[in-house]
Structure 1
Amino acid sequence: MKKKVLAIIMWSIVWQGVAQSEDENRLRSIFDTSLTKGKAYDWLNYLSNQIGGRLSGSVEAQLAVEYTKAQLDSLGLDRVWLQPVKVPKWVRGTPEFAFVETSPGVTTNVPICALGGSVATPLGGLKANVVEVQGIDELKNLGEERITGKIVFFNRPMDPSLINTFQAYSGCVDQRYAGALEAAQYGAVGVIVRSLSLRLDDFPHTGSMSYGDLPVNQRIPAAAISTKGAQLLSTTLKLNPETKFYFKQNCKQLEDVDSFNVIGEITGTTYPDEVLLVGGHLDSWDLGDGAHDDGAGCVQSMEVLRLLKNTGYRPQRTIRAVLFMNEENGLRGGNEYAKVAKTNQEKHVFALESDSGGFTPRGFSFDCSEANLQKVGQWKTLFAPYLIHFFEKGYSGADIRPLKQEGMVLAGLRPDSQRYFDHHHAANDTFEHVNKRELELGAAAMASLVYLFDKYGVVSD
């Protein structure tokens, strides 16, 4: 009996060694193919430089839908299709203009941009005294008497002491999203928000904002000011509290329009009804060309399918790439995809999103059970040769979050984030700031994780 038990143990060790070696070889093949024969960078070049910023509902967004579908068609996948979705159409209009006025006729121009979803200023622009606050909570302490008729200047910066820059972003994004809604209720006539960036520069960063249920006639214009402009305005107010701020913007919210999620898949050979999803969002803001946010995630997701196919891997489960529309100002694509999946009773067991830029991959964060997290931890040694070591519980992605259900694993690619908010939602989110090798490493890391989940499945709760 002892000999039999020993034999079983020895066989298990040998089998695990064979499996480990097989997985190492598979990952090596994926990374080699991505780094030497990758397509992601070329795809991103076209999206960024031939199409440009892809604001939901725009002509550029539709061109991106047509281009990415054509590229997926060219890969010889089992199925490629467009999923209809209604999206909001907000337009920026003519370039915004603003200045700080310390006394009549003495002005200094500052860079601003309208926040996505904002109303326009009056035709001649808006000029008023300014009240500076560090956050929404200060509005209540100031009260209507000190806010009515003024422009509220939200100047809380991202916390530079936080290593996780997404945590720093989360710590002050509420003033951008809800600042105008809250300030309007105290009689403010406009809102200026410090750009959410750790860098001191002249690029204003846009982003979504909401008026909630506030009646249209009570909505006030909202704009982001560059970090340098914010520093100037804050310093000037300290020297001269009677300083005025002027800004003019011509943005407008139009009726919803038709758009699409772009989807391609390789059908599983053994468990075709089990879906492993990888994706990013195809829309972007309009100031830059959306190379990092989130053109990178889209082309990486497309590349996952190409890498698995070109390395000769035949998945057991269906692997699907989804390029979601309208993450930036509505999440309509993600919500519609989840709705259709539920209606069709599709079984999604795993979903991975890349929406943190095309920088060097450091690892993944997982929204899953402890059992699945432990399983993922056993794969860390496979990623170690590629300097990918971050495997922790955490946030996955906005577009895949509506899919969440018990037993499912959601994951997010986690690149190095230190430079991400230098470009996020700004005019310098452009192709020239994407490193080809870093983008390719991210695509290979994603394909490797998808391969492992396809081969070994998820742990049932």
Structure 2
Amino acid sequence: MKYSKLHLSIAVTCLALLCSFANIYAQQVNKEDSLTIRKIYDKALLNGKSYDWLDYLSNNIGGRLSGSLEAEKAVRYTEAELKKLGLDKVWLQPVMVPKWTRGVKEYAYIETAPGITSTTNICALGGSVPTPSGGLKAHVVEVQNFEDLAQLGREAIEGKIVFYNRPMQANLIRTFEAYGGCVNQRYAGAMEAAKYGAVGVVVRSMNLRNDDFPHTGSMSYGDTPADLRIPACAISTNGADYLSSALKLKPDLKFYFKQSCKTYPDVQSYNVIGEITGTTYPNRYMIVGGHLDSWDLGDGSHDDGAGCVQSMEVLRLFKEIGYKPKHSIRVVLFMNEENGLRGGRKYAEEARLKNEQHVFALESDAGGFTPRGFSFDTDKENFAQIESWKNLFEPYLIHSFTMGGSGADIGPLKDGSIVLAGLRPDSQRYFDYHHAENDTFDAVNKRELELGAATMASLVYLMDKYGTRNELKEIKK
């Protein structure tokens, strides 16, 4: 069949009109989304609730170590606050958690000669056994890694305290990479040192700043028999530098430390969950959350009180602007991320038992600092859709959308189809406070916290409105 010039002209005109209509529709949709996101930020910054919630959680309750009275108070407080929001459902999900207590404040000193000592700041690592009641004093061997242990061998280590002094790598711009590069000495250091007959472990704090705050964190003995487990503590970065320098001058110095921590049988706690039921897909779930537990040294404002109140604020903002989501949106405040991940695993386990279809999950567990963007654990097709929304975030200086990583508590939900995401704030100051005594309310900036909550709500709004690529394929079937 031959086409006349008139036919071709009509076809070209129609195509141009279709493209024009498509562009107009895209602009309208983009404008609608832009206006909704503007409303979200306005509400969060002018009438936000997250900072007040964090104030109470931090200053009226304090550090919320799993199994503690403070953790229980935090459960009851956040449950009550979620109920005040008028959500469709609020409930507690029971989960058994470990119970470990620090006991009286730890004490340590460096002895360079009999009677000549200098005190230094330490704290027990979470899960450590105590020292003998009179404390523990021994010679010290400094190492950088587990390979050093193997090279030194039992002859050089037996009967001594192993001092792990590998710092976070300061030239890594992404500070979580620096943390990941040295955290194994904290987590498995005692287990590895015990194999060579060490009697204790001192670990340099995971901190990029030089200060006097020791940073705690979880550790594991693996399958080490109970009678062979050795006490482990963290030393501040200033203390670690001093100890290392002293060892160079006095290799035969001794280190003394005393800690009275104790492990108890597991106790019952709860994940706190609130839900807005979806209007179109009530049986498809999107969740946003953080972990309600914290370490006990500070009040857990950055880690992870900030993530909890930001997640609560997402649902409050939807209620405030009158947005009715298509999917059921849940806020989940997970218990026991810090020393067991029991809450995250329990939530995923129950979701599978109930055959609940989770399509998206967002976690905030990197502090309440200025939001920079998100990281996503998903495939290229879903990531391409998400990247197409980047221009909507740029007016708020949110520029970083990257593949890889999400959050520890939502990780157990991974099934090959769910899109997982993590809020990524500016991380340069995060490890100044992480797991330390100075992780307190005064270290959180109100505006930064609220910007993070609005950023999270904006992403959840877009994910809810447009769905994931996997969902759309399923609907088309």
- TM-score where L is the length of structure 2: 0.96
Please report how far the alpha carbon of residue 274 of structure 1 lies from its aligned counterpart in structure 2 after TM superposition.
1.1
**What is the rounded CA distance, in whole Å, between the counterparts of 2:372 and 2:19 in structure 1?**
35
For 2:299, give the aligned amino acid: D
Residue 51 of structure 1 pairs with residue 47 of structure 2: no
**Who is 1:85 aligned against?**
95
* AA aligned opposite 1:184: A
Question: Partner of 1:114 in structure 2?
Answer: 124
1:10 is displaced (CA, Å) by 1.5
CA displacement 1:415-436 (0-9 Å, x = unmatched): 0000000000000000000000
Alignment partner of 1:420 is 2:430: yes
Please point out which of 147, 156, 168 is paired with 1:146.
156
Residue correspondence of structure 1 range 324-339 to structure 2 within 5 A? 324-339=334-349
Match of 2:22 in 1: 12
Q: Is the 8 A contact 1:366 1:411 kept in 2?
A: yes
Report sequence identity in percent.
66
Pick one of 171, 174, 184 that aligns with 1:164.
Answer: 174
Following superposition of structure 1 onto structure 2, how do residues 356-395 of structure 1 map, counting pairs within 5 Å?
Answer: 356-395=366-405
1:137 CA drift (Å): 1.6
1:29-40 pair list within 5 angstroms: 29-40=39-50
- 1:334-372 deviations in whole A, cap 9, x for unaligned? 000000000000000000000000000000000000001
Aligned length: 461
Alpha-carbon distance, 1:408 to partner = 1.2
Alpha-carbon distance, 1:135 to partner: 1.1
CA positional deviation for 1:394: 1.5
SS at match of 1:275: strand
**Which residue of structure 2 lines up, in the alignment, with residue 279 of structure 1?**
289
> Which residue pairs with 1:135 in the alignment?
145
For residues 270-329 of structure 1, the C-alpha deviation after alignment (integer angstroms, 9 at most, x for no partner) is 011111100000000000000000000000000000001101101001110000000000
Say whether the 8 Å CA contact 1:292–1:430 is kept in structure 2: yes
Name the SS for the 1:304 alignment partner: helix
Q: Which runs of 5+ in 1 are unaligned?
A: none
What's 1:404 paired with? Answer: 414
1:253 is aligned to 2:288:
no
Aligned-partner SS, 2:373: strand
Any idea what the Cα deviations from partners look like across 1:181-211, whole Å, max 9, x if unmatched? 0000000000000000001000000000000
Contact 1:195/1:225 (<8 A) preserved: yes
User: Residue 332 of structure 2 is aligned with which of 322, 327, 336?
Assistant: 322
CA distance in 1, matches of 2:209, 2:20: 57
Matched, 1:298 2:313: no
Deviation, 1:4, is: 2.8
Once the two structures are superposed, residues 406-452 of structure 1 have per-residue CA deviations (whole angstroms, 9 ceiling, x without a partner) of 12100000000000000000000000000000000000000000000
Structure 1 residue 312 corresponds to structure 2 residue 322: yes
2-side partners of 1:68 and 1:120: how far apart?
33
Letter in 2 for 1:357: G
Give the structure with higher Rg (CA): 2
What is the 5 A alignment of 1:155-234? 155-234=165-244
CA distance in 1, matches of 2:416, 2:232: 40
Contact 1:192 1:224 in 2 (8 A): yes
* Mapped contact 1:407–1:459 kept (Cα < 8 A): no
1:6 shift after superposition: 2.5
Runs of 5+ consecutive residues of structure 2 not aligned to the other structure: 1-10
Other structure's SS at 1:253 match: strand
Distance in 2 between the 1:443 and 1:430 partners? Answer: 19
- Tell me the equivalent position of 2:443: 433
Distance 1:390 1:408 in 2: 21
SS of 1:130 mapped into structure 2: strand
RMSD over aligned CA atoms reads 0.6
Partner SS state of residue 469, structure 2: coil
Letter in 1 for 2:38: R
CA offset at residue 72 of structure 1? 0.1
Q: How does 1:333-348 map to 2 (within 5 A)?
A: 333-348=343-358
SS of structure 2 residue aligned to 1:61: helix
Paired AA for residue 217 in structure 2: G
Partner in structure 2 of residue 268 of structure 1: 278
